[in-house]
Amino acid sequence: MKKLAVVAIGGNAVNRPGEEATAENMMKNLAETAHFLVSMLDEYDIVITHGNGPQVGNLLVQQELAKHVIPPFPLDVNDAQTQGSLGYMIALTLGNELRKRSMEREITAVVTQIIVDKNDPGFQKPSKPVGPFYSKEEAEKLQQEKGWIMKEDAGRGWRRVVPSPIPLDIVEKNVIRTLVEKDVIVIAAGGGGIPVIQENGTLRGVEAVIDKDRASALLAKEIDADILIILTGVEKVYINYNKPDQKALDHLTVEEAKKYLAEGQFPSGSMGPKIEAAIDFVTSTGRECLITDMAVLDKALKGLTGTRITL
């Protein structure tokens, strides 16, 4: 039997840093992504998750500019919009890659709601970067003019940050399980899912963006995945990243990962949530997490590169 993998691709795999955020560029980038994902299918069944930080941030900018003409939507509805548009693009490019190889598989994108705690401290301390990068001067101006909370993002520039509560449960988990059992390639928990809270026996959307890696770890546990794969912009996890003494890590135990986290080696706006997601999945399941760059995914799956996190 094939192994089941949850594969988390970042929002920046859709829009590259510094690249114009056009539909054409997004489709081109996702076509490359589809090539690597389809190459996994001989050995793995896959459930795909994706980020939406750049895309939902761009949507917020558009709505800010047009707010005098059309009332802006709340953040949970924008999460849903980007989940739908990116789900469509991933399904389209993945389907085209399958056709190119004369492979037949059903693909579907599931609009996914994820339950969070309305008292989560993340609502008081926004930490999730969204939208484009700005210079320090631009960020200070936006902070003054619009009241946005701006933070420096891993040496790449300044970005708006929004609340990022911890995901607790997946509303559509049984649907996703059923589709996986039917051999369907599922795209789910896009952008970390749509954050909802339970209130008086009902669900209500809230203003936040859930981290997609944390949501991916939760989904991987819920569907009993054999491995969690987090694709990012670096081939391996580093300590002392971007410093003269930076060191690539081939393997991390959970205890080592916790130690480096406590030392501040993995910033909250970039590698931190990925390591936290890996710790969560590995600790809960005893299985492994692989963090690597999509371009070397085939080598990483053979154990030739990437960083593996295990007990």
Q: What share of the chain is helix, strand, coil (3-state, %, to 5)?
A: 40, 25, 35
Is 118 a catalytic site residue?
no
Residue at token pair 């739908």: 84
Separation CA 78–CA 135 (nearest Å):
25
Nearest by Cα to 280 from 265, 300, 304, 261 = 261
Label residue 83 exposed, middle or buried (CB < 10 Å: 0-12, 13-18, 19+).
buried
Choosing from 128, 173, 221, 236, the catalytic residue is 128
Separation CA 306–CA 249 (nearest Å):
8
**Cβ contacts of 42 within 8 Å, gap of 6 or more:** none
Spatial strand order of the sheet with 44-50 comes to 107-109, 185-187, 44-50, 3-9, 227-232, 288-293, 307-310, 251-253
Is 236 a catalytic site residue?
no
The answer to whether 40 and 46 are in contact (CB under 8 A) is yes
Choosing from 10, 11, 53, 306, the catalytic residue is 11
Is 147 a catalytic site residue?
no
Separation CA 97–CA 37 (nearest Å):
9
Is 12 a catalytic site residue?
yes
Choosing from 173, 212, 221, 236, the catalytic residue is 212
Is 128 a catalytic site residue?
yes
Catalytic residues: 11-12, 128, 212, 274
